Amino acid sequence: MSTANFNVPGLPLPVAVTRHRTARRMRLRVDHDAGLIRLTVPARASAKAALGWAKEQRLWVDAQLAAAPAAVPLEPGATIPFRGEPLELVWSETRRRSFSLHEGRLTVGGPRESFSSAVERWLRRQALDMLSAETARIAAEAGVVVRSVGVGDPVSRWGSCTSSGAIRYSWRLILAPPDLLRFVVAHEVAHRLHLDHGPRFKAVEGKLFGRPVAEARALLRELAPTLRAVGRS
């Protein structure tokens, strides 16, 4: 797999072309975080033809950009999703460095200038705690060992699992409804048994999740732009 970026006259963003050996057709998506149009093409596809096809999708690209949710900085007065429910962010001038979660409000003390970074650290900690617990539970059910659990902020992936058993998630899963967090955990733990996405993997994934995953996958895809807008300026 290889990627190269191109500036295409007539398109509002650079195009990142990725040649993928298993791709059977061209696929286009707008990466709002990276400010790119991502074009995946078969390994032997003509770059010129692929870029020409991408240029023909200008109306679709414009619609995707117009539909992108507005950024939601982590500032006092903002409302963000937390476990799928609205959470109002409140700064307390009188509190010391502390956090109080009560009835849909997160009250944060400490210096005003560190409010945003403090809220993100709190969200990451909540995500790591919940994802670690859920991973341990589902891994025990699957009879597999997970070497470590971590969180980060990848551009487009919700989770990843290495062959050695290290699983890493997007901290933004703490913003999503708990059912979607469990779906991603089931997906990654299933990779401890099957590293591909073949029929055996899908059977294990569904079993660990407790039901067919199509609805959860579709909802996570639908919510993704909103979740990725949180904390952006």
Judged against a pLDDT cut of 70, whether residue 46 lies above it is answered with yes
CB 171 within 8 A of CB 181: no
d(CA 233, CA 227): 14
Give the C-alpha distances (Å, rounded to integers) separating 79 from 90, 105, 127, 181.
Answer: 9, 9, 18, 20
Q: Judge residue 37's burial from the number of C-beta atoms within 10 Å of its C-beta, 0-12 exposed, 13-18 middle, 19 or more buried.
A: buried
* pLDDT for res 16: 87
Residue 91 has pLDDT above 90, yes or no: yes
102-118 average pLDDT score: 96
State pTM to two decimals.
0.80
- pLDDT grade, residue 133 (50/70/90)? very high
Predicted confidence (pLDDT) per residue in 160-203, tens digit: 999 999 999 999 999 999 999 999 999 999 999 999 999 999 99
Percent of the chain at pLDDT above 70? 99
Percent helix, strand and coil across the chain, each rounded to 5?
40, 25, 35
pLDDT of residue 145: 97
Tell me: pLDDT of 77 over 80.
Answer: yes
34's tokens: 């990276």
Around Cβ 136, how many Cβ atoms within 10 Å? Answer: 14
